[in-house]
Amino acid sequence: MTDRVIIAGGGIAGFAMALTLHQIGVPCLVVEQVETIRPMGVGINLQPNAIRELHDLGFSEADLDDIGVPAREWALVGMNGQEIYAEPRGTYAGYHWPQYAAHRGKFQMMLYHRFRERAGDENIRLGSKVTGYEITPDGLVTAVIETPDGTIRETARLLIGADGIHSAIRAQMHPDQAPIHWGGAMLWRGTSLAKPVRTGSSFIGLGTHEHRMVIYPISAPDPDTGLALINWIAEVTYDDVDTADRSGWFTRVEIEDFIHHFEDWTYDWLDVPALIRGADAAYENPMIDRDPVPTWVDGPVALMGDAAHPMYPTGSNGASQAIIDARVIGAAFLEHGVGPAALAAYDEQLCQPISEVVLRNRGAGPFGLLNMVNDRCGGVFENIDEVIPATERAEFMARYKSAAGFARDTLNAAAPTIVSGARVSAL
């Protein structure tokens, strides 16, 4: 089937792409290396720009409530537990769409099941991995696929690399790319049942950029107990950066291996050690990304999601950007046809600005305010306005939201990325 598009990777990016292609009438095949897709992972945030696109893909508020909870507030707190900055989020901030804090695995499963319902199991191939590609003389692309029965080759109109930070497609497209970048930050992640704090649905960054907690609920409170599933991230940045052994994900560790960094983080509104110890399991992750590359496209082949722009999670926009990638590619197909010209238009629109976001996140992203406070007063203060004036704090956050593509007024006024009912005219 040379008219279809092959998507390498069945994560959030891959299934957002597949659902978009199905919506506009482009046949596709998702190739995923795991034999069974399971709801792995912990918390992510879906920004209003991504929620807009999910609504346009047919996902309702009820669907989203099944996998997360609307965020009410984003707040930064100093080492002494005092507020540095807080702002409403989603519809509470005047967006036309909410922001959701969600369970990553449940979200991926929702996308996976919806694509199965709409397109059928025959368009998903599990237990197989795209390891490379060959561009044919007539401008098509042959995907090299490892299967349980050996290596096969399948020719398609286009190949979309949604195969993550360790992308084989990116490695072939950019054989001289720099190794995975680790800046020294180690994350420990988990979820605990606890009572939500502040607004009841607040995203909280506590500490400094180099020594902090990130805390937010990813479920509504139980009506009987008041307990919600709280996602937490404990982070420490080390001075001795060794990139060798810092490329893995979700290594299970004992809580006692790292909790000593946070044992004295107790406040009248939050007991951090108790929150961490309430988790059934904890997972260690290096905070890694890759240096930006000059293009995400090689003729009939394109990168998207973490394969294109793996970024530090400081901006809470990695999953959202993967969804935006899919929708921009879909819109380009509608305008330019399902071919290399559309991929080139996508590359022109997003590669450079999102590469800048990758570097901005490496520099602490919106958490840069924590560093500013730490630099100016050591993180302890009585009146934050005497440390960083309110106007300076607001301007800092506005610059980040604009760069990341979810400035409120711009987003609210924007036309749909893909108009309802739009279909490609021909393949």
pLDDT at residue number 1: 64
| Ranges 88-97, 193-202, 228-237, 404-413: which has the least confidence | 404-413
Q: What are phi and psi of 116, to 5 degrees?
A: -60, -45
Report the alpha-carbon distance of residue 89 to residue 70 in Å, rounded.
9
pLDDT at residue number 247: 46
Averaged pLDDT for residues 159-173? 97
Report the alpha-carbon distance of residue 421 to residue 241 in Å, rounded.
51
Pick the closest to residue 20 from 33, 7, 39 (CA basis): 7
Pick the closest to residue 351 from 414, 303, 301 (CA basis): 303
Averaged pLDDT for residues 260-286? 95
pLDDT at residue number 194: 97
Question: CB–CB of 308/346 below 8 Å?
Answer: no
Based on its alpha-carbon atoms, the radius of gyration of the chain, rounded to whole angstroms, reads: 22
Question: CB–CB of 69/220 below 8 Å?
Answer: yes
| pTM of the predicted structure, to 2 decimals | 0.93
pLDDT single digits (tens) 290-343: 999 999 999 999 999 999 999 887 767 889 999 999 999 999 999 999 999 999
| Ranges 87-96, 339-348, 397-406: which has the least confidence | 397-406
Answer whether residue 245 shows pLDDT above 60: no
Averaged pLDDT for residues 239-252? 60
Q: What are phi and psi of 193, to 5 degrees?
A: -80, 120
Averaged pLDDT for residues 368-391? 88
Answer whether residue 139 shows pLDDT above 90: yes
Higher per-residue confidence, 401 vs 96:
96
Pick the closest to residue 160 from 357, 307, 332 (CA basis): 307
Report the alpha-carbon distance of residue 60 to residue 108 in Å, rounded.
16
pLDDT at residue number 248: 52
| Ranges 61-65, 277-281, 318-322, 380-384: which has the least confidence | 380-384
pLDDT single digits (tens) 217-238: 999 999 999 999 999 999 998 8
Pick the closest to residue 36 from 89, 92, 105 (CA basis): 105
Confidence of residue 242 (pLDDT cuts 50, 70, 90): low
The pLDDT mean for the chain works out to 92
pLDDT single digits (tens) 7-52: 999 999 999 999 999 999 999 999 999 999 988 778 999 999 999 9
Question: CB–CB of 216/262 below 8 Å?
Answer: no
Q: Which tokens hold the place of 237? A: 């940045």
| Spatial strand order in the sheet of 129-135 | 129-135, 141-147, 150-156
Domains and CATH numbers, the chain: 5-69+101-179+292-363 (3.50.50.60), 182-289 (3.30.9.30)
Answer whether residue 70 shows pLDDT above 80: yes
Answer whether residue 141 shows pLDDT above 60: yes
| 409 Rama class: left (phi>0) / alpha (psi -120 to 50) / beta | alpha
Report the alpha-carbon distance of residue 362 to residue 315 in Å, rounded.
9
| Spatial strand order in the sheet of 297-298 | 124-126, 28-32, 5-8, 158-161, 301-303, 297-298
Query: Which residues make beta-bridge pairs with 43?
Result: 103
Question: What is the 3 state secondary structure string of 137-201?
Answer: CCCCEEEEEEECCEEEEEEECEEEECCCCCCHHHHHHCCCCCCCEEEEEEEEEEEEEECCCCCCC
Q: Which tokens hold the place of 27? A: 């046949």
CA atoms within 13 A on the CB side of 390: 4
Confidence of residue 243 (pLDDT cuts 50, 70, 90): very low
Answer whether residue 158 shows pLDDT above 50: yes
Averaged pLDDT for residues 201-212? 89
| Spatial strand order in the sheet of 100-103 | 43-46, 100-103, 68-70
> Residue 325 has what DSSP assignment?
H
CA distance from start to end of the chain: 12
CA quadruple 111, 216, 414, 410: dihedral, nearest 10 = -160
Report the alpha-carbon distance of residue 209 to residue 192 in Å, rounded.
23
Task: Classify each residue of 212-225 as buried b or exposed e, where b means 16 or more C-beta atoms within 10 Å of its C-beta.
Answer: bbbbbbbbebeeee
Token pair 């950019």 is found at: 174
pLDDT at residue number 407: 78
Residues in the chain: 427
Pick the closest to residue 123 from 205, 267, 10 (CA basis): 10
Side chain identity at residue 329, one-letter code: I
Give 76-96 as a DSSP string: EE-TTS-EEEEEE-GGGGT-S
Number of Cβ within 10 Å of residue 130's Cβ equals: 26
pLDDT at residue number 40: 77
